[in-house]
Amino acid sequence: MMEILGQVGNASSIHAFGRAARRIVEDARERVAALVGVSSPQVVFTSGATEANNTVLALTDRPRVLVSAIEHDSVLAAAPDAEIVPVTPEGLVDLAALEAMLDADNRPSLVAVMLANNEIGTLQPVAEVAAIAKRHGALVHCDAVQATGKIPVDFVALDIDFMSLSAHKLGGPQGNGALIVREGVPVPTLIRGGGQEKRRRAGTENVAGIAGFGAAAEAAAAGLGAYNRVAVLRDALESRIRAAFPETPIFGGCAPRIANTSCIAMPGMSAETQLMGFDLAGIAVSSGSACSSGKVAASHVLAALGVGRDLAKSAVRVSLGWDADEGQIERFVETWITLRQKAERRTAVA
């Protein structure tokens, strides 16, 4: 990326500099396509997954839109009239409810279910969702932001129509993403103007960012194995906390999850207070989803799981890096236990 930032050339120009930039963009497109098992014309580069989600959800011509209750805000806000498909207390989309909702009304529909949830990490049964949707003639959109780069993701095997990706969730630059589209399915156009991205997304390409996305996609595909080790570390973190405080709620903990995510409640201490405590110990964690932190409302994801408001407000999302190590786990667990003991003392005094 640094090298490319120093180069001139608009990927739409036909002179040599432009053609060199075009090669960089198309090379990256192949790498991103390979990561999710599609051919490169199916990849439309965007400014991120927020844009990709908005493109599909806000512009669909389907009269009915159904979204899972635990979708990212960029899906929920783009489809304010969508019908909400409930999730189980473990954080998995309720397939029977989806089927019943589709049975009840046979207007053409679009169904949006994410692959891995960003707050609790649960892996959604997207292939089953797609099978149900197809039986009802519905299109399927999948926000695969959190799963891609952590588990193998195969667009064709999932049998879906649209997928959103975000470069920065797999080690690439912020402000880059892609919409993946099934061959033959028309792509709604959100950003209009020039003819870039085969008229599917106007605007001069962010060549350096796209190159970074391509490099990250290639590295992520090669590095999937690292997450087996991360899962062992995450499980160790959770079991050490539970060894000290057996009743600790870990949301989605009994469902299949991506390896790096753990959403842990600390009854008696707000997530904000915990965040400060962890920060002082040099540990960066988030309350709810980082994108919406700062908002006072409890997480809509935990509410959908049926978690009470007070408990939800004490939940912290821990994300382990691909290179996490035993020392980090040790430090986290020690800090968590210290904070938990403080919460216990405070409760006893009150």
Interface residues toward ligand PLP, by CB under 6 A: 48-50, 72, 74, 114, 118, 143, 145-146, 166, 177, 291
Query: Catalytic one among 142, 254, 263, 291?
Result: 291
Report residue 133 as tokens. 């949707």
For residue 266, the minimal CB distance to ligand PLP (Å) is 23
Longest dimension (CA), the chain: 74
Q: Rank residues 110 and 269 by Cβ distance to ligand PLP and give the closer one.
A: 110
For residue 122, the minimal CB distance to ligand PLP (Å) is 12
Q: Rank residues 241 and 258 by Cβ distance to ligand PLP and give the closer one.
A: 258
142 is catalytic: no
Q: Identity (one letter) of the amino acid at 182?
A: R
Q: Where are the alpha helices (DSSP H) in the chain?
A: 2-5, 16-36, 49-59, 73-76, 95-104, 126-135, 155-158, 207-222, 226-244, 271-280, 300-304, 309-312, 326-349
Q: Give first-to-last CA distance, the chain, whole Å.
A: 55
For residue 50, the minimal CB distance to ligand PLP (Å) is 3
* Cβ 159 vs Cβ 138: under 8 Å: no
For residue 161, the minimal CB distance to ligand PLP (Å) is 17
Residue nearest to ligand PLP (CB): 48
Q: Rank residues 25 and 114 by Cβ distance to ligand PLP and give the closer one.
A: 114
Report residue 198 as tokens. 């085969």
Q: Rank residues 9 and 121 by Cβ distance to ligand PLP and give the closer one.
A: 121
Strand partners, 265: 315
Which SS3 state, helix, strand or coil, does residue 154 take? Answer: coil
Residues annotated as catalytic (active site), given as ranges: 291
